[in-house]
A and B are shown apart, each in its own frame.
Chain A
Amino acid sequence: MSEADSNAARPVRVALIDSGGANTGSVKFALDRLGANSVITVDPAVIEEADRVILPGVGAARHAMARLGDAGLVEFVRNLTVPLLGICLGMQLLYEFSDEGETQCLGILPGRVERMQPAEHVRIPQMGWNKVDRLRRDTLTVALRDGAPAYFVHSYAAPVTEDTISTFTHGGTYTAIVGRGTVRGAQFHPERSGSFGQQLLRTFLEEKIS
Protein backbone atom coordinates (compact mmCIF):
# COMPACT_ATOMS: atom_id res chain seq x y z
CA MET A 1 0.00 0.00 0.00
CA SER A 2 1.37 3.40 -0.94
CA GLU A 3 1.67 6.20 1.59
CA ALA A 4 -1.17 8.07 -0.08
CA ASP A 5 -3.45 5.06 0.38
CA SER A 6 -2.57 4.72 4.04
CA ASN A 7 -3.25 8.44 4.53
CA ALA A 8 -6.64 8.03 2.94
CA ALA A 9 -7.39 5.07 5.18
CA ARG A 10 -7.28 7.02 8.42
CA PRO A 11 -7.61 10.68 9.36
CA VAL A 12 -4.54 12.64 10.41
CA ARG A 13 -3.97 12.35 14.16
CA VAL A 14 -3.39 15.71 15.79
CA ALA A 15 -2.33 16.35 19.39
CA LEU A 16 -3.45 19.75 20.66
CA ILE A 17 -1.30 20.68 23.63
CA ASP A 18 -3.46 22.15 26.37
CA SER A 19 -1.41 25.19 27.38
CA GLY A 20 -4.32 26.61 29.36
CA GLY A 21 -5.34 29.04 26.64
CA ALA A 22 -8.94 29.74 25.85
CA ASN A 23 -8.81 28.99 22.11
CA THR A 24 -7.99 25.29 22.33
CA GLY A 25 -11.62 24.30 21.81
CA SER A 26 -11.94 26.55 18.75
CA VAL A 27 -8.84 25.02 17.19
CA LYS A 28 -10.27 21.55 17.79
CA PHE A 29 -13.53 22.53 16.08
CA ALA A 30 -11.55 23.82 13.09
CA LEU A 31 -9.70 20.49 12.89
CA ASP A 32 -13.03 18.66 13.15
CA ARG A 33 -14.27 20.66 10.14
CA LEU A 34 -11.23 19.36 8.24
CA GLY A 35 -11.92 15.76 9.23
CA ALA A 36 -8.81 15.41 11.40
CA ASN A 37 -8.75 13.19 14.45
CA SER A 38 -7.61 15.54 17.21
CA VAL A 39 -7.22 15.25 20.96
CA ILE A 40 -6.54 17.94 23.58
CA THR A 41 -3.82 16.66 25.91
CA VAL A 42 -0.71 17.30 28.02
CA ASP A 43 0.22 13.60 28.09
CA PRO A 44 3.58 12.98 26.33
CA ALA A 45 2.52 9.41 25.51
CA VAL A 46 -0.53 10.71 23.62
CA ILE A 47 1.48 13.43 21.84
CA GLU A 48 4.03 10.79 20.77
CA GLU A 49 1.31 8.99 18.84
CA ALA A 50 0.32 12.03 16.78
CA ASP A 51 1.17 12.84 13.16
CA ARG A 52 0.96 16.56 13.89
CA VAL A 53 1.24 18.62 17.06
CA ILE A 54 -0.39 22.00 17.59
CA LEU A 55 0.48 24.39 20.40
CA PRO A 56 -2.42 26.82 20.60
CA GLY A 57 -2.56 29.55 23.18
CA VAL A 58 -4.27 32.70 24.25
CA GLY A 59 -3.21 34.45 27.43
CA ALA A 60 0.08 35.25 29.09
CA ALA A 61 3.47 33.78 28.10
CA ARG A 62 4.65 33.20 31.67
CA HIS A 63 1.51 31.30 32.62
CA ALA A 64 1.63 29.12 29.50
CA MET A 65 5.34 28.28 29.96
CA ALA A 66 4.70 27.41 33.62
CA ARG A 67 1.94 25.09 32.51
CA LEU A 68 4.18 23.37 29.97
CA GLY A 69 6.84 23.08 32.68
CA ASP A 70 4.43 21.54 35.18
CA ALA A 71 3.38 18.98 32.56
CA GLY A 72 7.04 18.14 31.89
CA LEU A 73 6.64 19.20 28.27
CA VAL A 74 9.35 21.84 27.76
CA GLU A 75 12.16 19.50 26.68
CA PHE A 76 9.65 17.19 25.05
CA VAL A 77 8.27 19.91 22.75
CA ARG A 78 11.79 21.14 21.94
CA ASN A 79 12.68 17.63 20.76
CA LEU A 80 9.54 16.84 18.76
CA THR A 81 10.26 15.32 15.37
CA VAL A 82 6.73 15.46 13.94
CA PRO A 83 5.54 18.78 12.48
CA LEU A 84 4.64 21.32 15.16
CA LEU A 85 2.44 24.39 14.65
CA GLY A 86 2.27 27.15 17.23
CA ILE A 87 -0.76 29.43 17.08
CA CYS A 88 -0.82 33.01 18.45
CA LEU A 89 0.81 32.81 21.91
CA GLY A 90 1.80 29.25 20.90
CA MET A 91 3.90 30.76 18.09
CA GLN A 92 5.48 33.29 20.43
CA LEU A 93 6.49 30.48 22.82
CA LEU A 94 8.62 28.95 20.04
CA TYR A 95 11.11 31.82 20.35
CA GLU A 96 13.86 32.23 22.94
CA PHE A 97 12.35 34.94 25.08
CA SER A 98 9.21 37.04 25.50
CA ASP A 99 9.11 40.52 26.97
CA GLU A 100 5.66 39.58 28.25
CA GLY A 101 6.38 38.82 31.90
CA GLU A 102 10.13 38.54 31.07
CA THR A 103 9.59 34.91 30.13
CA GLN A 104 12.12 32.33 29.00
CA CYS A 105 10.38 30.45 26.18
CA LEU A 106 11.05 27.22 24.28
CA GLY A 107 13.99 28.58 22.30
CA ILE A 108 13.26 26.52 19.19
CA LEU A 109 13.52 29.69 17.08
CA PRO A 110 16.03 32.49 17.64
CA GLY A 111 14.50 35.85 18.55
CA ARG A 112 12.78 37.85 21.22
CA VAL A 113 9.04 38.56 21.30
CA GLU A 114 8.36 42.23 22.03
CA ARG A 115 5.42 44.43 22.86
CA MET A 116 3.95 46.28 19.88
CA GLN A 117 3.98 50.05 20.25
CA PRO A 118 0.80 52.13 19.99
CA ALA A 119 0.77 55.06 17.56
CA GLU A 120 -1.84 57.12 15.77
CA HIS A 121 -4.44 54.68 14.40
CA VAL A 122 -2.39 51.80 15.86
CA ARG A 123 -4.25 50.42 18.83
CA ILE A 124 -2.85 47.79 21.21
CA PRO A 125 -3.97 45.04 21.40
CA GLN A 126 -4.21 44.56 17.68
CA MET A 127 -7.69 43.14 17.30
CA GLY A 128 -9.10 42.35 13.88
CA TRP A 129 -8.30 41.40 10.29
CA ASN A 130 -4.93 42.33 8.87
CA LYS A 131 -3.16 41.44 5.65
CA VAL A 132 -0.66 38.58 5.60
CA ASP A 133 2.15 39.44 3.17
CA ARG A 134 4.47 36.79 1.76
CA LEU A 135 8.16 37.34 2.42
CA ARG A 136 9.49 34.07 1.02
CA ARG A 137 8.11 30.94 -0.60
CA ASP A 138 7.15 28.02 1.60
CA THR A 139 5.08 24.88 1.15
CA LEU A 140 2.80 25.95 4.02
CA THR A 141 1.69 29.12 2.26
CA VAL A 142 1.93 28.16 -1.39
CA ALA A 143 -1.86 27.71 -1.63
CA LEU A 144 -2.59 31.01 0.15
CA ARG A 145 -3.35 34.28 -1.60
CA ASP A 146 -0.66 36.86 -0.92
CA GLY A 147 -2.05 39.80 1.03
CA ALA A 148 -5.20 37.98 2.15
CA PRO A 149 -6.61 38.97 5.55
CA ALA A 150 -6.37 36.90 8.74
CA TYR A 151 -7.71 37.48 12.24
CA PHE A 152 -5.19 38.76 14.79
CA VAL A 153 -5.66 39.32 18.53
CA HIS A 154 -2.47 40.14 20.45
CA SER A 155 -0.31 42.78 22.15
CA TYR A 156 3.10 41.15 21.66
CA ALA A 157 4.73 40.13 18.39
CA ALA A 158 7.82 38.41 16.97
CA PRO A 159 10.37 40.34 14.92
CA VAL A 160 11.08 39.54 11.29
CA THR A 161 13.95 37.03 11.22
CA GLU A 162 15.42 34.61 8.68
CA ASP A 163 12.70 32.13 9.72
CA THR A 164 9.87 34.52 8.79
CA ILE A 165 7.65 33.28 5.95
CA SER A 166 4.99 36.02 5.99
CA THR A 167 4.62 39.36 7.72
CA PHE A 168 1.95 41.78 8.92
CA THR A 169 2.19 45.49 9.59
CA HIS A 170 0.67 47.15 12.67
CA GLY A 171 2.83 50.15 13.50
CA GLY A 172 5.94 48.07 12.78
CA THR A 173 6.29 44.98 10.58
CA TYR A 174 6.33 41.66 12.38
CA THR A 175 6.20 37.92 11.74
CA ALA A 176 2.77 36.56 10.75
CA ILE A 177 3.90 33.07 9.71
CA VAL A 178 7.20 31.47 10.66
CA GLY A 179 8.87 28.20 9.72
CA ARG A 180 12.10 26.38 10.39
CA GLY A 181 12.43 22.70 9.56
CA THR A 182 9.41 20.88 10.95
CA VAL A 183 8.36 23.79 13.16
CA ARG A 184 5.74 26.32 12.06
CA GLY A 185 3.90 29.17 13.68
CA ALA A 186 1.08 31.61 12.93
CA GLN A 187 0.58 34.81 14.91
CA PHE A 188 -3.03 35.07 13.73
CA HIS A 189 -5.82 32.62 14.47
CA PRO A 190 -6.27 30.23 11.54
CA GLU A 191 -9.28 28.73 13.35
CA ARG A 192 -10.98 32.13 13.13
CA SER A 193 -9.62 33.36 9.79
CA GLY A 194 -12.25 32.04 7.41
CA SER A 195 -11.19 30.10 4.31
CA PHE A 196 -7.63 31.51 4.51
CA GLY A 197 -7.08 29.96 7.93
CA GLN A 198 -8.77 26.74 6.92
CA GLN A 199 -6.43 26.41 3.93
CA LEU A 200 -3.40 26.99 6.15
CA LEU A 201 -4.50 24.29 8.59
CA ARG A 202 -5.31 21.90 5.74
CA THR A 203 -1.85 22.37 4.24
CA PHE A 204 -0.24 21.86 7.65
CA LEU A 205 -2.11 18.57 8.04
CA GLU A 206 -1.35 17.36 4.53
CA GLU A 207 2.03 18.71 3.50
CA LYS A 208 5.11 16.54 3.60
CA ILE A 209 7.59 18.22 5.90
CA SER A 210 10.97 16.64 6.41
Chain B
Amino acid sequence: MLSRRIVPCLDVRDGRVVKGTRFRDHRDMGGIVELAERYRDEGADELVFYDITASPDGRSADMEWIEKVARVIDIPFCVAGGIRDVDTARAILNAGADKVSVNTPATERPELITELADAFGVQCVVVGIDSLRDDDGEWRVRQYTGQVERTRALPTRTLDWVTRVQELGAGEVVLNCMGSDGVRDGYDLEQLGAVRQVCDVPLVASGGAGTMQHFVDVFRVADVDAALAATVFHSGEILIPELKLQLRRKGIEVRDVA
Protein backbone atom coordinates (compact mmCIF):
# COMPACT_ATOMS: atom_id res chain seq x y z
CA MET B 1 0.00 0.00 0.00
CA LEU B 2 1.20 3.47 -0.88
CA SER B 3 2.37 5.43 2.18
CA ARG B 4 1.18 8.91 3.07
CA ARG B 5 4.06 11.33 2.59
CA ILE B 6 5.59 13.83 5.00
CA VAL B 7 7.14 16.67 3.02
CA PRO B 8 9.25 19.42 4.57
CA CYS B 9 9.18 22.57 2.47
CA LEU B 10 12.36 24.61 2.25
CA ASP B 11 11.85 28.19 1.15
CA VAL B 12 15.08 29.25 -0.52
CA ARG B 13 16.28 32.82 -0.76
CA ASP B 14 19.79 33.83 -1.82
CA GLY B 15 21.19 30.36 -1.24
CA ARG B 16 19.72 29.98 2.28
CA VAL B 17 16.61 28.39 3.69
CA VAL B 18 14.27 30.98 5.19
CA LYS B 19 10.78 30.98 6.62
CA GLY B 20 8.27 33.70 7.33
CA THR B 21 4.70 33.75 8.48
CA ARG B 22 1.92 34.63 6.10
CA PHE B 23 4.51 35.12 3.37
CA ARG B 24 6.46 37.91 5.15
CA ASP B 25 9.25 38.58 7.65
CA HIS B 26 11.58 35.83 6.47
CA ARG B 27 13.92 34.33 9.05
CA ASP B 28 17.13 32.40 8.24
CA MET B 29 16.73 28.66 8.89
CA GLY B 30 20.08 27.33 7.63
CA GLY B 31 22.01 26.09 4.60
CA ILE B 32 20.20 24.29 1.79
CA VAL B 33 22.30 21.13 1.57
CA GLU B 34 22.64 20.82 5.37
CA LEU B 35 18.89 20.99 5.93
CA ALA B 36 18.23 18.62 3.02
CA GLU B 37 20.61 16.07 4.54
CA ARG B 38 19.04 16.48 7.97
CA TYR B 39 15.55 15.79 6.62
CA ARG B 40 16.75 12.83 4.58
CA ASP B 41 18.27 11.33 7.73
CA GLU B 42 15.15 12.00 9.78
CA GLY B 43 12.97 10.13 7.30
CA ALA B 44 11.30 12.85 5.24
CA ASP B 45 9.62 11.19 2.25
CA GLU B 46 10.25 14.00 -0.16
CA LEU B 47 11.47 17.60 -0.13
CA VAL B 48 10.11 20.71 -1.80
CA PHE B 49 12.41 23.64 -2.48
CA TYR B 50 10.60 26.85 -3.20
CA ASP B 51 12.74 29.66 -4.56
CA ILE B 52 10.80 32.55 -3.08
CA THR B 53 12.94 35.17 -4.77
CA ALA B 54 12.52 33.66 -8.22
CA SER B 55 8.96 34.30 -9.26
CA PRO B 56 8.29 37.95 -8.41
CA ASP B 57 11.54 39.11 -9.98
CA GLY B 58 11.00 37.03 -13.11
CA ARG B 59 14.18 35.03 -12.36
CA SER B 60 14.30 31.27 -12.43
CA ALA B 61 15.70 29.03 -9.75
CA ASP B 62 19.48 28.88 -9.67
CA MET B 63 20.75 25.48 -10.90
CA GLU B 64 23.93 25.17 -8.88
CA TRP B 65 22.33 24.34 -5.53
CA ILE B 66 19.87 22.00 -7.24
CA GLU B 67 22.72 19.85 -8.50
CA LYS B 68 24.42 19.96 -5.10
CA VAL B 69 21.24 18.67 -3.46
CA ALA B 70 20.75 16.01 -6.15
CA ARG B 71 24.27 14.69 -5.59
CA VAL B 72 23.83 14.07 -1.86
CA ILE B 73 20.11 13.27 -1.53
CA ASP B 74 18.64 9.83 -2.25
CA ILE B 75 14.99 10.79 -1.73
CA PRO B 76 12.89 12.66 -4.31
CA PHE B 77 12.67 16.42 -4.41
CA CYS B 78 10.67 19.04 -6.24
CA VAL B 79 11.73 22.56 -7.21
CA ALA B 80 9.30 25.48 -7.41
CA GLY B 81 9.66 29.14 -8.18
CA GLY B 82 9.84 31.13 -11.39
CA ILE B 83 9.44 28.24 -13.84
CA ARG B 84 7.77 29.77 -16.90
CA ASP B 85 8.90 27.59 -19.80
CA VAL B 86 9.96 24.10 -20.83
CA ASP B 87 13.64 25.03 -21.15
CA THR B 88 13.90 26.24 -17.54
CA ALA B 89 12.05 23.14 -16.33
CA ARG B 90 14.39 20.91 -18.35
CA ALA B 91 17.46 22.56 -16.84
CA ILE B 92 16.08 22.02 -13.32
CA LEU B 93 15.16 18.38 -14.00
CA ASN B 94 18.52 17.73 -15.68
CA ALA B 95 20.24 19.22 -12.63
CA GLY B 96 18.63 16.37 -10.69
CA ALA B 97 15.22 17.52 -9.45
CA ASP B 98 12.49 14.89 -9.77
CA LYS B 99 9.57 17.25 -10.26
CA VAL B 100 8.94 20.89 -11.03
CA SER B 101 6.11 22.87 -9.50
CA VAL B 102 4.43 25.79 -11.22
CA ASN B 103 2.06 28.25 -9.59
CA THR B 104 1.64 31.87 -10.73
CA PRO B 105 3.02 31.26 -14.27
CA ALA B 106 0.35 28.58 -14.77
CA THR B 107 -2.37 31.08 -13.86
CA GLU B 108 -0.94 33.52 -16.39
CA ARG B 109 -0.56 30.96 -19.17
CA PRO B 110 -2.35 27.65 -18.43
CA GLU B 111 -0.87 26.00 -21.58
CA LEU B 112 2.42 25.88 -19.68
CA ILE B 113 1.08 22.86 -17.75
CA THR B 114 0.40 20.97 -20.99
CA GLU B 115 3.77 21.91 -22.46
CA LEU B 116 5.53 20.55 -19.38
CA ALA B 117 3.42 17.36 -19.32
CA ASP B 118 4.12 16.73 -23.02
CA ALA B 119 7.85 17.28 -22.54
CA PHE B 120 8.42 15.32 -19.32
CA GLY B 121 5.26 13.34 -18.54
CA VAL B 122 2.58 14.30 -16.03
CA GLN B 123 4.51 12.66 -13.17
CA CYS B 124 7.06 15.51 -13.30
CA VAL B 125 4.47 18.27 -13.25
CA VAL B 126 3.18 19.64 -9.95
CA VAL B 127 0.77 22.56 -9.88
CA GLY B 128 0.85 24.69 -6.76
CA ILE B 129 -2.30 26.63 -5.96
CA ASP B 130 -2.47 29.51 -3.49
CA SER B 131 -6.04 29.78 -2.34
CA LEU B 132 -8.01 31.99 0.00
CA ARG B 133 -11.67 32.19 0.99
CA ASP B 134 -13.35 35.42 -0.13
CA ASP B 135 -16.08 37.29 1.73
CA ASP B 136 -18.77 35.55 -0.34
CA GLY B 137 -17.58 32.19 1.01
CA GLU B 138 -15.91 30.99 -2.21
CA TRP B 139 -12.27 29.85 -2.31
CA ARG B 140 -10.41 31.63 -5.08
CA VAL B 141 -6.92 31.51 -6.53
CA ARG B 142 -4.26 34.08 -5.67
CA GLN B 143 -1.28 35.11 -7.83
CA TYR B 144 2.14 36.56 -6.98
CA THR B 145 1.88 35.51 -3.34
CA GLY B 146 5.65 35.67 -2.89
CA GLN B 147 5.37 39.39 -2.22
CA VAL B 148 2.49 40.73 -0.16
CA GLU B 149 2.23 44.01 -2.08
CA ARG B 150 1.98 42.22 -5.43
CA THR B 151 -0.46 39.49 -4.38
CA ARG B 152 -3.52 39.53 -6.63
CA ALA B 153 -6.90 37.87 -6.25
CA LEU B 154 -8.22 36.11 -9.35
CA PRO B 155 -11.88 35.55 -10.22
CA THR B 156 -11.06 31.83 -10.73
CA ARG B 157 -12.68 29.53 -8.17
CA THR B 158 -10.14 27.17 -6.63
CA LEU B 159 -12.29 24.08 -7.27
CA ASP B 160 -12.59 25.00 -10.95
CA TRP B 161 -8.86 25.56 -11.23
CA VAL B 162 -8.09 22.18 -9.65
CA THR B 163 -10.30 20.50 -12.26
CA ARG B 164 -8.74 22.51 -15.07
CA VAL B 165 -5.10 21.86 -14.17
CA GLN B 166 -5.75 18.10 -14.17
CA GLU B 167 -7.23 18.34 -17.68
CA LEU B 168 -4.14 20.29 -18.73
CA GLY B 169 -1.70 17.69 -17.41
CA ALA B 170 -0.97 18.22 -13.72
CA GLY B 171 0.35 15.05 -12.10
CA GLU B 172 0.00 16.39 -8.57
CA VAL B 173 -1.66 19.35 -6.87
CA VAL B 174 -0.26 21.23 -3.89
CA LEU B 175 -3.03 23.24 -2.26
CA ASN B 176 -1.65 26.03 -0.14
CA CYS B 177 -4.43 27.34 2.06
CA MET B 178 -3.29 30.90 2.68
CA GLY B 179 -5.84 31.52 5.42
CA SER B 180 -4.19 28.90 7.63
CA ASP B 181 -0.57 29.31 6.47
CA GLY B 182 1.88 30.23 9.16
CA VAL B 183 -0.68 30.38 11.98
CA ARG B 184 -0.32 26.74 13.06
CA ASP B 185 -3.98 26.18 13.84
CA GLY B 186 -4.13 23.11 11.65
CA TYR B 187 -4.65 22.43 7.98
CA ASP B 188 -7.79 23.80 6.32
CA LEU B 189 -9.67 20.51 6.42
CA GLU B 190 -12.84 21.93 4.94
CA GLN B 191 -11.11 23.33 1.87
CA LEU B 192 -8.80 20.34 1.40
CA GLY B 193 -11.76 17.97 1.71
CA ALA B 194 -13.65 19.91 -0.94
CA VAL B 195 -10.65 19.90 -3.27
CA ARG B 196 -10.15 16.17 -2.67
CA GLN B 197 -13.60 15.55 -4.13
CA VAL B 198 -12.49 16.98 -7.49
CA CYS B 199 -8.83 15.92 -7.41
CA ASP B 200 -8.02 12.49 -8.88
CA VAL B 201 -4.25 13.01 -8.92
CA PRO B 202 -2.17 13.09 -5.72
CA LEU B 203 -3.09 16.01 -3.45
CA VAL B 204 -0.62 17.67 -1.09
CA ALA B 205 -1.88 19.74 1.85
CA SER B 206 0.01 22.92 2.69
CA GLY B 207 -0.48 25.61 5.30
CA GLY B 208 -1.33 25.40 8.98
CA ALA B 209 0.59 22.50 10.54
CA GLY B 210 1.27 23.14 14.22
CA THR B 211 0.92 19.83 16.05
CA MET B 212 1.18 16.12 15.26
CA GLN B 213 -2.59 15.84 15.59
CA HIS B 214 -2.95 18.25 12.66
CA PHE B 215 -1.19 15.71 10.44
CA VAL B 216 -3.40 12.89 11.73
CA ASP B 217 -6.48 15.00 10.97
CA VAL B 218 -5.45 16.03 7.47
CA PHE B 219 -4.78 12.44 6.38
CA ARG B 220 -7.90 11.08 8.06
CA VAL B 221 -10.42 13.81 7.36
CA ALA B 222 -9.22 15.33 4.08
CA ASP B 223 -7.69 12.09 2.69
CA VAL B 224 -4.69 13.92 1.23
CA ASP B 225 -1.72 11.95 -0.11
CA ALA B 226 0.95 14.13 1.44
CA ALA B 227 1.27 16.85 4.05
CA LEU B 228 3.71 19.69 3.63
CA ALA B 229 5.07 21.85 6.43
CA ALA B 230 8.02 24.11 7.10
CA THR B 231 8.26 25.94 10.41
CA VAL B 232 7.36 23.05 12.72
CA PHE B 233 10.09 20.95 11.13
CA HIS B 234 12.75 23.65 10.81
CA SER B 235 12.31 24.66 14.46
CA GLY B 236 12.49 21.06 15.65
CA GLU B 237 9.10 21.34 17.36
CA ILE B 238 7.93 18.29 15.45
CA LEU B 239 10.48 15.57 14.80
CA ILE B 240 9.67 13.45 11.77
CA PRO B 241 10.47 10.06 13.37
CA GLU B 242 8.09 10.83 16.27
CA LEU B 243 5.47 12.15 13.88
CA LYS B 244 5.61 8.95 11.85
CA LEU B 245 5.34 6.83 14.99
CA GLN B 246 2.27 8.80 16.02
CA LEU B 247 0.69 8.48 12.55
CA ARG B 248 1.29 4.74 12.51
CA ARG B 249 -0.30 4.40 15.95
CA LYS B 250 -3.37 6.08 14.53
CA GLY B 251 -3.50 3.56 11.70
CA ILE B 252 -2.09 5.80 8.99
CA GLU B 253 0.31 4.09 6.58
CA VAL B 254 3.72 5.80 6.60
CA ARG B 255 7.15 4.79 5.39
CA ASP B 256 9.46 3.12 7.90
CA VAL B 257 12.39 5.27 8.90
CA ALA B 258 15.14 2.68 8.50
Contacts and interface: CB of A to CB of B under 8 A. Distances in A.
Interface centre among A25, A131, A198 (most CB of B within 10 A): A25
A90 interface: no
B258 interface: yes
B217 interface: no
* Interface size band for B: 35 or more
A63 to B, nearest CB: 9
Contact of B98 (A26, A118, A129, A170): A26
Contacts of B74: 30, 33, 191-195, 197-198
Nearest to A198: B74
> Which of B2, B76, B96, B201 has the largest number of chain A CB atoms within 10 A?
B2
A174 to B, nearest CB: 12
Interface in A25-82: 25-26, 29-30, 32-33, 58-60
B123 interface: yes
Contact of B202 (A127, A194, A195): A127
Interface range on chain A (Cβ under 8 Å from partner): 35 or more
Given A123-B225, A128-B45, A22 B201 contact: no
Contacts, number: 109
A125 B258 CA distance: 26
Contact of A151 (B76, B95, B120, B256): B76
Nearest to B100: A22
Interface string B54-94: 00000000000001001100111000000000000010011
A30 to B, nearest CB: 7
A26 B123 contact: no
Contacts of A23: 93, 98
A169 interface: yes
Interface of B: 1-5, 40, 45-46, 67, 70-71, 74-76, 90, 93-96, 98-99, 119-124, 171-172, 200-203, 223, 225-226, 255-256, 258
Given A22-B94, A129-B45, 13 more contacts: A23-B98, A25-B70, A58-B123, A123-B225, A128-B5, A129-B255, A131-B1, A152-B2, A153-B99, A191-B74, A192-B74, A194-B75, A195-B258
